[in-house]
Structure 1
């Protein structure tokens, strides 16, 4: 359990004229994040407002402590119906996933695409020296692939 990183192999310059295309080149830097004490209703409202499926949970030092997703929000909704537990009183820490896989900023996008293919993750937080610095999603990889489609796809 806990935060685990996919280090991948360190990117080396391509044999062609350009350098390897890395996670840091396509990751999102400006992220919506939550704190463990945030109300779960805030998460639901934010996910809906910004049309996202989840977000990192960080502490006061911006260290990644978990991830909360739309799927994680199903439990309090279900419990509200069956057990009459007010959803407004529930907090992120009760439902967030703490067994989080992260990825290094210097992993090749092709290796990252392979990890997305092998695992059912929708996103990987990017952590540097314990701090959350970004996130890469499947859509970011698709964007990179479309941008690179005219080039040789070897890394």
Structure 2
């Protein structure tokens, strides 16, 4: 009687689904802001660059927050309420602290699920606290268009 092998058929390199990870689709060249930057400057940059927000980093590129168009709506609302111009307000006064991040090794399905669950538009990607990139909803959509039929698992 021969030896039976219960390992089953091995996958060949051609059969192994390609991983679609955050690190492969994230944006690495980012527009970032500093905590001591003025809000009016941030507004101008967001409008000029046609973006809705961005990461806030310190001098060592450590992620310290996120500033978004929602945060800017708070600035505008307060300015109207207090009848004072936006003026010299700082990013540090309005940024969201301790932003949710996503691991660069996460796959795009995990990223899509987190976007759905949280409603966020972007997740910073950090390594040891330093900002290394950012993944947006659009980045996940771009990744999805590159998936083959057998990779939707």
Fold match, TM over 0.5? yes
Q: Which residue of 2 aligns with 1:130?
A: 129
Q: Segments of 4+ in structure 1 off by > 4 A?
A: none
Gaps of 5+ in 2: 1-12
Q: Name the TM-score, length of structure 2 as normaliser.
A: 0.86
Deviation at 1:63, TM superposition (A): 0.4
Task: Render the CA deviation track for 1:54-106: whole Å, top value 9, x for unaligned.
Answer: 10000000000000000100122122222123312100001000031001100
Greater RCO structure (CA 8 Å; 6+ sep):
1
Q: Name the TM-score, length of structure 1 as normaliser.
A: 0.85
Range that drifts further, 114-123 or 21-30: 114-123
Deviation at 1:18, TM superposition (A): 4.1
May I ask how many residue pairs the two structures share in their alignment? 141
Gaps of 5+ in 1: 1-13
Q: Which residue of 1 aligns with 2:150?
A: 152
Structure showing greater radius of gyration is: 2
Instruction: Write the mapping of 1:1-150 to structure 2, written as runs, cut at 5 A.
Output: 16-148=15-147, 150=148
Task: Render the CA deviation track for 1:81-137: whole Å, top value 9, x for unaligned.
Answer: 221233121000010000310011001111111111221111100001111000000
Q: CA RMSD in A?
A: 1.7
